[in-house]
């Protein structure tokens, strides 16, 4: 077990957990690097850039790359807020326990309900999109039956890795991290240096996408290039009880995920733009799947196949990380008695030290959604459209709760602290989040009511169903889990760390 020596003026991992009301049930075998790998493969710039490249260029032209910078900066603010919260509350589940300890049980229940469904749908979508890469690698025609078979295979493979334990999860996440870095930074640099067919000034050339109107509208429409990319860093906190010294390591891992993910996405997106031999066709929308052609033209048939292997590795690792994060959230929810079947979902395997039953749900529900998509492939867009907005809503519920506690006098007591900058960063993170949610919720202009409003319809269904269950079943009344105790816990941690410091021997060199 990779447990490092506890620094002076900091509680030990088990003692910190006891202050928060829990006993340790997991192996703390996850290092900083493995925790970062988990968040990075969930964020997956390779998956995000590949999925959005053509759409972003068709809507906003080459300048849409700047959304990666804008959203990356905004999400870095959010990660700083999350860092202070997880440093005080290094417990499984991330969004749910953070919202509960910062506000109250009903508030946290809604945040977790939205977030759980957003994660479940995201698992489904990533597995569905990954099936196309597998089919291409083996030269298979992607029929609905082949797509379903491969999707279920990816979900099952990720489940097997997750079921094997935290060490296997960490190893596969690190392999996925290596694949991502080769597939995005390595390939991006190669395209930039050796295969450049466009000038760098193209990133300031709208190429006429605005038509006769203002380019601002087109640029705002291309925000998806960044908004769909920069989430997943919170997964570092979902597995907090499996990380050694999580109060220090997880904030670092989250920020590393944002920074390295942003640089990777810039290299990848920029490399594809500069190496595109038919950029005008991509921007005009004539070529809606341009990356295979770019790879074939620059890497040749063999190189393109090798890239497919790297991409599939990244997709498997992404599904793996999503399942792991979703299962820990379900476990955290169930441990507090806040979800139907909580006694079953809260069980931890005594041998592998993983929440086995929660993992089964995180694999089975996406599989069932995939079967529904098999019978009606038109469901893929509606069920995935609300996912990103749902995740941003859950994020901002934590940011808002954190700001509320600060205004009431809360000073985060974990070893990671922004000090006097905390309030300013919190306000800026909330402002950014509101801006992002408005962009995601804006209806389209296709003329079809369902297509234009599908994002809000999906979120509305989840919110209404969650509220109905909350006020009919009242799960918050069945739980005695602590809530709204940020100030009291901070005071206790400071008192205990003061006592620890008083008995610490003076370090000698």
The DSSP symbol for 30 reads: B
- At residue 30, φ and ψ (nearest 5 deg) are -95, 125
Amino acid 1: pLDDT: 40
Amino acid 224: pLDDT: 78
The CA distance from 123 to 319, in Å, is 6
Amino acid 83: pLDDT: 95
- At residue 170, φ and ψ (nearest 5 deg) are -65, -45
| Closest alpha carbon to 130 in 231, 188, 230, 44 | 44
Amino acid 328: pLDDT: 85
- String of DSSP letters for 166-178: HHHHHHHHHHHHH
CB 484 within 8 A of CB 104: yes
What average pLDDT score do residues 310-314 get?
86
Question: 394 falls in which pLDDT band (50, 70, 90)?
Answer: very high
Amino acid 398: pLDDT: 96
Distant-in-sequence, close-in-space partners of 474: CB < 8 Å, separation ≥ 6: none
CB 120 within 8 A of CB 326: yes
- 456 or 395, which is more confident: 395
Is the predicted pLDDT of residue 345 greater than 70, yes or no?
yes
Question: 288 falls in which pLDDT band (50, 70, 90)?
Answer: confident
Place of tokens 């999707």: 151
Amino acid 501: pLDDT: 47
CATH number belonging to domain 20-477: 1.20.1740.10
CB 398 within 8 A of CB 95: yes
The CA distance from 374 to 106, in Å, is 36
What average pLDDT score do residues 257-276 get?
91
Q: Which of 49-53, 441-445, 473-477, 490-494 has the highest mean pLDDT?
A: 490-494
Task: Let me know the angle formed at the C-alpha of 376 by 375 and 380, rounded to the nearest 5 degrees.
Answer: 125
Question: 251 falls in which pLDDT band (50, 70, 90)?
Answer: very high
User: pLDDT tens digits, residue range 206-238?
Assistant: 888 888 888 998 898 888 778 878 887 888 988
Q: Which residues of 58-81 are buried (b: 16+ CB within 10 A; e: fewer)?
A: bbbbbbbbbbbebbbebbbbbbbb
**Minimum mean pLDDT range among 50-64, 408-422, 450-464:** 450-464
Report the DSSP beta bridge partners of residue 243: 30
Question: Please, which contacts does 346-352 make with residues 24 or more away whose CB atoms are closer than 8 Å?
Answer: 348/25, 348/26, 349/163, 352/163, 352/164, 352/165
Question: 3 falls in which pLDDT band (50, 70, 90)?
Answer: very low
Is the predicted pLDDT of residue 193 greater than 50, yes or no?
yes
Is the predicted pLDDT of residue 253 greater than 90, yes or no?
yes
Question: 508 falls in which pLDDT band (50, 70, 90)?
Answer: very low
Question: 2 falls in which pLDDT band (50, 70, 90)?
Answer: very low
**Minimum mean pLDDT range among 289-293, 356-360, 411-415:** 289-293
Distance of CA 9 to the CA centre of its chain: 32
Question: 92 falls in which pLDDT band (50, 70, 90)?
Answer: confident
What average pLDDT score do residues 78-106 get?
92
Distance of CA 504 to the CA centre of its chain: 39
Look at residue 243 and give its three-state secondary structure.
strand
- At residue 208, φ and ψ (nearest 5 deg) are 75, 15
User: pLDDT tens digits, residue range 163-188?
Assistant: 888 788 888 888 888 888 887 888 88
Segments in 214-290 forming alpha helices (H): 215-221, 224-227, 235-238, 246-275, 279-284
CB 484 within 8 A of CB 79: no
Q: pLDDT averaged over the chain?
A: 85
User: pLDDT tens digits, residue range 454-502?
Assistant: 778 888 888 999 899 888 888 888 777 788 899 999 999 888 877 544 4
Is the predicted pLDDT of residue 144 greater than 80, yes or no?
yes
What average pLDDT score do residues 314-343 get?
84
Task: Let me know the angle formed at the C-alpha of 97 by 92 and 101, rounded to the nearest 5 degrees.
Answer: 140
For residue 102, give both structure tokens. Answer: 């910062």
Amino acid 9: pLDDT: 63
Look at residue 215 and give its three-state secondary structure.
helix
What average pLDDT score do residues 280-296 get?
84
The CA distance from 253 to 195, in Å, is 33
């Amino acid at each position: 077990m990779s447990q490092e020596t506890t620094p002076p003026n900091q509680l030990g991992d088990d003692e910190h957990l006891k202050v928060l009301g829990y006993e340790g049930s997991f192996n703390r075998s996850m290092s900083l690097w493995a925790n970062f790998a988990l968040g990075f493969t969930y964020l997956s710039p390779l998956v995000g850039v590949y999925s959005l490249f053509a759409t972003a260029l068709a809507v906003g032209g080459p300048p849409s790359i700047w959304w990666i910078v804008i959203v990356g900066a905004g999400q870095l603010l959010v990660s700083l807020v999350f860092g202070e919260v997880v440093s005080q509350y290094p417990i499984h589940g991330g969004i749910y326990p953070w919202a509960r300890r910062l506000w109250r049980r009903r508030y946290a229940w809604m945040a977790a309900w939205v977030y759980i469904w957003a994660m479940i749908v995201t698992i489904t979508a990533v597995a569905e999109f990954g099936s196309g890469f597998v089919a291409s690698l083996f030269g298979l025609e992607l029929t609905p039956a082949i797509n379903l078979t491969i999707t279920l295979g990816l979900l099952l493979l990720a489940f097997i890795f997750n079921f094997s334990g935290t060490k296997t999860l960490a190893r596969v996440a690190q392999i996925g991290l290596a694949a991502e870095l080769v597939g995005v930074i390595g390939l991006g640099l190669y395209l930039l240096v050796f295969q450049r067919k466009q000038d760098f000034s193209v990133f300031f050339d709208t190429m006429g996408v605005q038509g006769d109107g203002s380019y601002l509208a087109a640029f705002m429409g291309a925000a998806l290039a960044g908004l769909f990319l920069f989430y997943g860093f919170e997964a570092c906190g979902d597995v907090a009880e499996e990380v050694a010294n999580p109060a220090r390591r997880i904030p670092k891992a989250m920020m590393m995920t944002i920074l390295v993910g942003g640089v990777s996405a810039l290299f990848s997106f920029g490399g594809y733009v500069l190496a595109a031999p038919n950029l005008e066709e991509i921007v005009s929308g004539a070529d809606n799947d341009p990356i295979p052609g770019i790879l074939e033209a620059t890497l040749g048939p063999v190189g393109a196949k090798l890239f497919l292997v790297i991409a599939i590795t990244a997709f498997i690792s992404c599904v793996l990380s999503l399942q792991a994060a979703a299962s820990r959230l379900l476990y955290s929810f169930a441990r507090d008695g806040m979800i139907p079947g909580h006694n079953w979902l809260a069980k931890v395997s005594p041998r592998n030290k993983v929440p086995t039953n929660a993992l089964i749900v995180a694999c089975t529900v996406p599989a069932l959604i995939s079967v529904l998509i098999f019978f009606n492939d038109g469901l893929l867009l509606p069920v995935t459209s609300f996912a990103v907005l749902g995740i941003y809503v859950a994020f901002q519920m934590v940011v808002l709760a954190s700001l509320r506690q600060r205004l009431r006098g809360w000073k985060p007591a974990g070893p990671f602290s922004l000090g006097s900058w905390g309030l300013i960063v919190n306000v800026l993170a909330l402002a950014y989040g509101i801006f992002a949610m408005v962009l995601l919720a804006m209806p389209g202009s296709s003329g079809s009511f369902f297509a234009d409003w599908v994002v809000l319809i999906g979120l509305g269904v989840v919110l209404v169903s969650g509220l109905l269950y909350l006020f009919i079943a009242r799960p918050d009344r069945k739980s005695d889990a602590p809530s709204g105790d940020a100030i009291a816990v901070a005071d206790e941690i400071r008192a205990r760390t003061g006592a620890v410091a008083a008995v610490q021997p003076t370090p000698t060199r």
